[in-house]
Structure 1
Amino acid sequence: MRRLVATSIALGLAATLAACGKSSNQDQGAQTTEAVATAPSPEELKKIQASLPAPYNTADLTNGAASFALCASCHTITSGGPNLTGPHLHDVVGRKVGSVANYNYSEPMKTAGFTWDAARLDSWLTNPRVMMPATKMSFIGMKNPKDRADLIAYLMVNSAAKPQ
């Protein structure tokens, strides 16, 4: 399990660093690099995952990190990470939709009025345009339920993890 979490962190950090290069704001990129340097330890991430509800407490975080690579071209996940084409996703679980500062959301996202939880993330990841037809997000969705659960667990762990 320790190797699994360490691999997950490495994949997630690689995806985040790849996405950072897409930011036009050098200060935001510096913030992301700083956040990466102070990421929680594998042991802390393992404890966080163990505290999650089923099925997320036993999800494959390595697969979740690999799945997040699909998101990394538009989103960062590190604490203090910049907004790219999409808003940063650190702390997305438990966050009100459309609430990241300095991000220009589509009108449906601005007025959705709900908070992201596992069930809503699962629906969103299945097909964003079915959940919210007028969204500007171009992602076509993730059909495999296990991949979605692993990605949601990865988002949950990263939403709960606070930099050291």
Structure 2
Amino acid sequence: LNAGQFPLSILAMTPRAADLYRKGVYGNTMTANPRALDVAHAVLTAVDESTRSNIVGAGNYLKEQLQQLAIELDGAITKVQGTGLLVSCELDGQRYQAFGAGSTEEYLRHHGIGIIHGGKNSLRLTPHFNITEAEIDLIIDHIRHALVDGPKRAVNQNTAKTAA
């Protein structure tokens, strides 16, 4: 659970452990500050059965489309994984750099796609809970464009000659 992309950390403990803490108002991410809890409550209140169903269905559709893209682009994407709408796709590290200067992540961001890196060489997608299939298709089109026309790792000429 997060608070709709608002920083939130919550620590669960037994009553005995809780009694050891001094009561007061805390104000940083790691102490479950009151604003973060208000935001989390609003998110939980807004998530109804329809939203939960979309998280599962749209998440499955997103993973299926990324897997199809992996096939279409001959292994440019080497792994697709995720739960619900927290999904990642690992890129072929020989051809693509997922993050940093001149990366696929940077390229996608410059083209309006809110994407972040995750793992060794992966792109992580965390779309909004009510995303539609049309919006997912748009994201997939942008990822396709980034992998076909976007930045690539430089090929070592010695390795390329040896392989030929």
Give me the TM-score of the superposition, normalised by structure 1.
0.26
Q: Which has more strand, going by share of residues? A: 2
RCO comparison, higher one (Cα < 8 Å, 6+): 1
